[in-house]
Structure 1
Amino acid sequence: MSEAEDFARLMRELKDRGGLSYGVLARRLHTSTSTLHRYCNGEALPAEFAVVDRFARACGASAAEAVDLHRAWLLADARRRAGATAPDPVPVPVPVPVLAPDQAAAAVEAEPERTVVVGPAGMVGRAAGTGPTGAESGARPSWYRRRAAGVAAAGLTAGAVALALLAVTGPDRGTPHAGAGPGAGIGTRGSGGSASAAATPSAPGAAPGATPTDPATGTAQPSASSGGSATASAPASASAPAPVPGRAPAAPLKAAVRSHVWAAGCDHAYLAERGPGSVPPPPVQADAPAWATAQRAVHAGSQIVEITLHGTGGGAVVLEGLEVRVGARRTPPAWNVYQMSQGCGGGLTPAVFAVNLDAPRPLARPVAGNDAGNRLPAPAFPMRVSADEPVVLRVEAVTTGCDCDWSLDLRWTSPAGSGTLRLDDGGRPLRTSAATGRPVYGYALEQGRWAR
């Protein structure tokens, strides 16, 4: 049974036991009846955990059942993200025979006329992802040409040099390898605005990922709040590779970073330069990344970041600690504050790591939560994570005095070694700005406009 089917089974069991119809549950979850049908049949998966939490409460799930449902959703969501961002297969270079000049001359005389180009680019084309087609792969090498023996020998010599360089540099300098240096773990932008962050091993000479800078001035660049979740990934093998002397191991972790998490699923505020007449109505939480990007808006006063971690190998990984790095501090912009909701409530206050960005050296401090009167213990390191046991970290950063660019460094240890994993907003720093004294607007539904 797949992770999505297991999650759907748990939802059906809770619904049947609760005795509520799809229509009643759909209204309590603020979704459509057809969408809820798809969740319970395994045809779709909720994009946000808030939907799963409300479903469990509506069905009267116990604390243990809610935990099981949450864990099943995390596994199914991780599988969905992994399927959406599966890396392309690593191309393999094709060995090319090198002939002596007299053999090349004989081959040229025997080969019919072709129109392909001879040279080093032809030799390395497969490593760059432009290898021969299926029709060419069964034919004679495409670098033969009908020319004099001296020209053919020169072309073959250039090909031999290119092949030698390929053997030294590897099949693809942009492809991460297990045990690679600081570049290992840098992935590609996937669907839904997902981008990978860099895994920064702890090794001599390996520097952590830096805040984007202006190439002309060298100063840190402010970034508009971007959408989606960022996936920090590193290659993994079936078994932990032995450490290579002089090289730091790649992080055996994947991290899905959500940078637009609203309190109780509805309460948040953004700073935007545009006037209220030019700003569209507030979105739902799932559409917040695209809305904020279109308005060039930044998080106002506070920002909640949720990181879902799971291992990529067969063994367990120990998470040792979380460090906060502030890359830039600026004066908060004199923009308007737009509240996403006029107020909402919930019986769940998750346990978080609280970060005060105004502190000279911000720390991630564990804070206990509350679930309908039941105390939730504060998160504490070290933590254990594996492919079958994901971990969710929730970080809430606040500021009252700066427009801050910041990121997180997660320290980890595994049998293959140790290092750090950079957690940011799709390769760019997270950005949170103070909003004290700025005009505050809320959306008046009855009037269909923003009002103070």
Structure 2
Amino acid sequence: MSEAENFARLMRELKERAGLSYGALARRLHTSTSTLHRYCNGEALPAEFAVVDRFARACGATQGEAVDLHRAWLLADARRRAGAAAVPVPEPVAVPEPVPEPEPTVVVGPEPEPGPVARGAWYRRRAAVVAAAGVTAGAVAVALLAASGPGPGAPHAGGSTGTRTGAGASAGASAPTSAGSGSAPAPAATGAPEPTPPAGSAGSAGSAGSAGATVPAPAQPSASPPASAPGRDPVAPLKAAVRSHVWTAGCDHAYLSERGPGAVPPPPVEADAPAWATAQRAVHAGSQIVEVTLHGTGGGAVVLEDLEVRVAARRKPPAWNVYQMSQGCGGGLTPAAFAVNLDAPRPLARPVAGNDGGGTLPAPAFPLRVSAAEPAVLRVEAATTGCDCDWYLDLRWTGPAGSGTLRIDDGGRPLRTSAAAGRPVYGYAPEQGRWAR
């Protein structure tokens, strides 16, 4: 039985025991009935940990059953990411062809800039505001997993590891992004006269120059972590898979893009957000949620000691348009997690308690213990109201072979989040088939 089939079997058993219909469960999970049916049949896998946690609570799962369901999801999700990264690319076959006649050279002019944003009626959105302080259902899984024994196997999460003296770039094997190898923390650049090209999130491929134009940022090379050497920290016995496009409640998020509303396609679903944001050269607007799945790679346990926030660069926020991904959504779950204020002189990852239908979810706290059979999910929400920030996280760890730091970034590049106050805000109107204000 595959990991996905095992996860679907556990979901069906909990649903049948609870005696709840697909419709009733779907309303509690804030999803459609057909989507929940696909989860239980093994045809699809939830993209977010919070859905699994809400399902276990709605079905009245015991602590042990919730741990088994969470572990099965982590294994299935890791297998899905590994399979997506392992698709082979066929080699082109050289076929001899006659030499063609020389053709005249065609000079292609620059693509015209999008026109000015038209002023229209303010887009009316439902006034449901999702709490911005919530950042991890994964903290609940950490507490549950730490109380249980080893599971049937270890997930294979794409992502390279590193130390404080590592190579600085990473090889990402997961579909969203993966954690890179760590290097010495870079000092923050606060007063540069010329904005530096941002190496932002997976949805950011360019930066705002002095004239407002977008300059594509070159991709940084990937490298494997160096082997241990005398005088250096040992290689981290951890693997990490990083999702940098996590939406609040799976539906609410906003992006900044320099393109006009007529040139921007409709909003995607959360799973397609990285590709959509990359195509639009979009930047996370106002806040960004990062979810990190960690598990050990050796036989022993690894202790996660602390999470440090590093701001690599601060720039003036670009004067781009804001595109809301939904008309407003929300639910009874506010995940507990680590909140980061990027505007602070020395940002900290601050544990924040959550809420689930009136019940308090305890705030996450270090130290945490992970191993090959006991993964952990960390959820971090960073927010800014005053800068276009490049940032990353340093996770300090201690294991059987020593201690070191694991760099958590966006495939070897810093994460990027920009303030969006005072920018034109657009929401998508399905009945009109266009973006409107």
1:295-315, Cα deviation, whole Å (9 max, x unpaired): 111111111111111101111
- What's the counterpart of residue 394 of structure 2? 409
Question: What secondary structure sits across from 1:291 in the alignment?
Answer: helix
Could you tell me how far 1:192 is from its partner in structure 2?
A: 2.8
Could you tell me how far 1:68 is from its partner in structure 2?
A: 3.8
Quickly say closer, same or farther: Cα 1:233–1:46, change in 2 above 3 A: farther
- What's the counterpart of residue 385 of structure 2? 400
- What's the counterpart of residue 223 of structure 1? 199
Could you tell me how far 1:46 is from its partner in structure 2?
A: 2.7
Structure with the higher fraction of residues in helix conformation: 1
Given that 1:332 and 1:434 are in contact with CA atoms closer than 8 Å, whether structure 2 keeps it comes out as yes
Task: Give yes or no for the alignment of 1:190 onto 2:182.
Answer: no
Task: Give yes or no for the alignment of 1:366 onto 2:351.
Answer: yes
Could you tell me how far 1:183 is from its partner in structure 2?
A: 4.0
Could you tell me how far 1:278 is from its partner in structure 2?
A: 1.4
Question: What secondary structure sits across from 1:346 in the alignment?
Answer: coil
Given that 2:396 and 2:405 are in contact with CA atoms closer than 8 Å, whether structure 1 keeps it comes out as yes
> Residues 107-256 of structure 1 correspond to what in structure 2 (within 5 A)?
182-183=165-166, 187-190=170-173, 192=175, 194-200=177-183, 207-208=184-185, 220-227=196-203, 245-256=230-241
- What's the counterpart of residue 9 of structure 1? 9
Given that 1:258 and 1:306 are in contact with CA atoms closer than 8 Å, whether structure 2 keeps it comes out as yes
- What's the counterpart of residue 445 of structure 1? 430
- What's the counterpart of residue 260 of structure 1? 245
- What's the counterpart of residue 332 of structure 1? 317
Which structure 2 segments of 5+ residues have no match?
89-159, 205-221
Given that 1:185 and 1:250 are in contact with CA atoms closer than 8 Å, whether structure 2 keeps it comes out as no
Matched letter for residue 347 of structure 1: G
Question: What secondary structure sits across from 2:405 in the alignment?
Answer: strand
Matched letter for residue 73 of structure 2: W
1:196-221, Cα deviation, whole Å (9 max, x unpaired): 51145xxxxxx357999xxxx99842
Quickly say closer, same or farther: Cα 1:233–1:3, change in 2 above 3 A: farther
In angstroms, what is the RMSD of aligned CA positions?
A: 3.6
User: Could you tell me the percent identity over the aligned residues?
Assistant: 77
Q: Distance in 2 between matches of 1:234 and 1:46?
A: 30
Quickly say closer, same or farther: Cα 1:291–1:359, change in 2 above 3 A: same
Quickly say closer, same or farther: Cα 1:369–1:281, change in 2 above 3 A: same
Question: What secondary structure sits across from 2:266 in the alignment?
Answer: coil
1:3-36, Cα deviation, whole Å (9 max, x unpaired): 4343222111022224455577678764574x65
Could you tell me how far 1:58 is from its partner in structure 2?
A: 5.5
- What's the counterpart of residue 405 of structure 2? 420
- What's the counterpart of residue 420 of structure 2? 435
Q: TM-score, normalised by structure 1?
A: 0.67
Quickly say closer, same or farther: Cα 1:14–1:210, change in 2 above 3 A: farther
Q: Distance in 2 between matches of 1:87 and 1:252?
A: 26
Could you tell me how far 1:369 is from its partner in structure 2?
A: 0.8
Quickly say closer, same or farther: Cα 1:24–1:352, change in 2 above 3 A: closer
Matched letter for residue 73 of structure 1: W
Q: Distance in 2 between matches of 1:198 and 1:227?
A: 20
Could you tell me how far 1:414 is from its partner in structure 2?
A: 0.4
Deviates more, 1:380-389 or 1:49-58: 49-58
1:23-81, Cα deviation, whole Å (9 max, x unpaired): 77678764574x65553344543333344345446645566644542232123223443
Matched letter for residue 226 of structure 1: A
Matched letter for residue 173 of structure 2: G
1:162-212, Cα deviation, whole Å (9 max, x unpaired): xxxxxxxxxxxxxxx999994469653436354551145xxxxxx357999
Question: What secondary structure sits across from 2:175 in the alignment?
Answer: helix
Matched letter for residue 341 of structure 1: S
Quickly say closer, same or farther: Cα 1:446–1:179, change in 2 above 3 A: closer
Q: Which has the higher contact order (CA 8 A, sep 6+)?
A: 2
1:297-337, Cα deviation, whole Å (9 max, x unpaired): 11111111111111011110000101111011001111111
Q: Distance in 2 between matches of 1:426 and 1:180?
A: 15
1:238-270, Cα deviation, whole Å (9 max, x unpaired): xxx9x7643431100011111111111111111
Question: What secondary structure sits across from 1:310 in the alignment?
Answer: strand
Q: Distance in 2 between matches of 1:300 and 1:178?
A: 28
Question: What secondary structure sits across from 1:192 in the alignment?
Answer: coil
Q: TM-score, normalised by structure 2?
A: 0.69
Question: What secondary structure sits across from 2:199 in the alignment?
Answer: coil
> Residues 296-311 of structure 1 correspond to what in structure 2 (within 5 A)?
296-311=281-296
Q: Distance in 1 between matches of 2:187 and 2:372?
A: 29
Could you tell me how far 1:87 is from its partner in structure 2?
A: 13
Q: Distance in 1 between matches of 2:347 and 2:59?
A: 41
Q: Distance in 2 between matches of 1:294 and 1:318?
A: 39
Matched letter for residue 190 of structure 1: A
Matched letter for residue 181 of structure 2: A
Task: Give yes or no for the alignment of 1:46 onto 2:46.
Answer: yes
Given that 1:268 and 1:340 are in contact with CA atoms closer than 8 Å, whether structure 2 keeps it comes out as yes
Task: Give yes or no for the alignment of 1:343 onto 2:319.
Answer: no
Matched letter for residue 223 of structure 1: A
Q: Distance in 2 between matches of 1:19 and 1:447?
A: 41
Q: Distance in 2 between matches of 1:211 and 1:77?
A: 35
- What's the counterpart of residue 106 of structure 1? none
Given that 1:29 and 1:55 are in contact with CA atoms closer than 8 Å, whether structure 2 keeps it comes out as no
- What's the counterpart of residue 283 of structure 1? 268
Q: Distance in 2 between matches of 1:425 and 1:81?
A: 16
Aligned length: 345
